[in-house]
Amino acid sequence: MSLGWLVATALLIAIYCLLFYIRKVITCKKTEYDESSPGITLLFLVKNQQDIIEGLVRTAFTDACIQSVDVIAVDLGSVDQTRLILERLSGSLHHFRFLALCEESGVSKKIYRLCRGQVIYCFDLTGHINYSLMARAIHSILNGSRACLYRTKVLYKSDKLVPHDKG
């Protein structure tokens, strides 16, 4: 008798997992990347972050099926493997764009034109970064709560570039 309950429970769990997976796939398909006007842009300004950058970019794409997201990384003259990692990611992640710049002055104005989202979250990844806090900030933004904006500037797309420091 208990073996029958065990098999039935295992079968119900398997069905639940399958339905959850199908729902997740359908949700991601419904909210596929909109080329014309994504809601937000995640802009990573990166310098010498080879240890964390791939994880952060992949975190952004893992959560990105929640809404239409534009993801751009700008390398500001890294001397480690950061640039190579970003080049590899840009080849494997379909909607990820990567640029390499050698100067930091005027970056926001140059990049601003490339950002397609109406709200741009600019992540400063040029100094020492707490990976856990940064991943939480990305997750928070993509889930709509904005509870954690660690090392993030929020820019709103209009005729003028309007920065709002959030942390």
Residues 89 and 161 in one domain: yes
State the Cα–Cα distance between residues 154 and 149, nearest whole angstrom.
9
Residues 79 and 145 in one domain: yes
Tokens read off for 120: 């741009």
Average pLDDT of span 64-77: 78
Instruction: Write down the pLDDT at residue 33.
Output: 43
Residue 159 has pLDDT above 70, yes or no: no
Residues 99 and 55 in one domain: yes
Residues 48 and 88 in one domain: yes
Q: Tell the residue number behind the tokens 């640039």, with chain if given.
A: 83
User: What CATH code is carried by the domain that includes residue 118?
Assistant: 3.90.550.10
For 123, what's the count of Cα atoms within 13 Å in the CB-facing half-sphere? 32
Residues 26 and 42 in one domain: no
pTM of the model: 0.67
Number of domains in the chain: 2
Binned at pLDDT 50, 70 and 90, residue 127 comes out as confident
Condensed to tens digits (0 to 9), the pLDDT of residues 19-61 reads 877 776 665 544 444 445 567 888 888 999 999 999 988 888 8
Residues 18 and 70 in one domain: no
Residues 18 and 97 in one domain: no
Residues 113 and 134 in one domain: yes
State the Cα–Cα distance between residues 136 and 134, nearest whole angstrom.
5
Domain that holds residue 16: 1-30
Tokens read off for 107: 């970056």
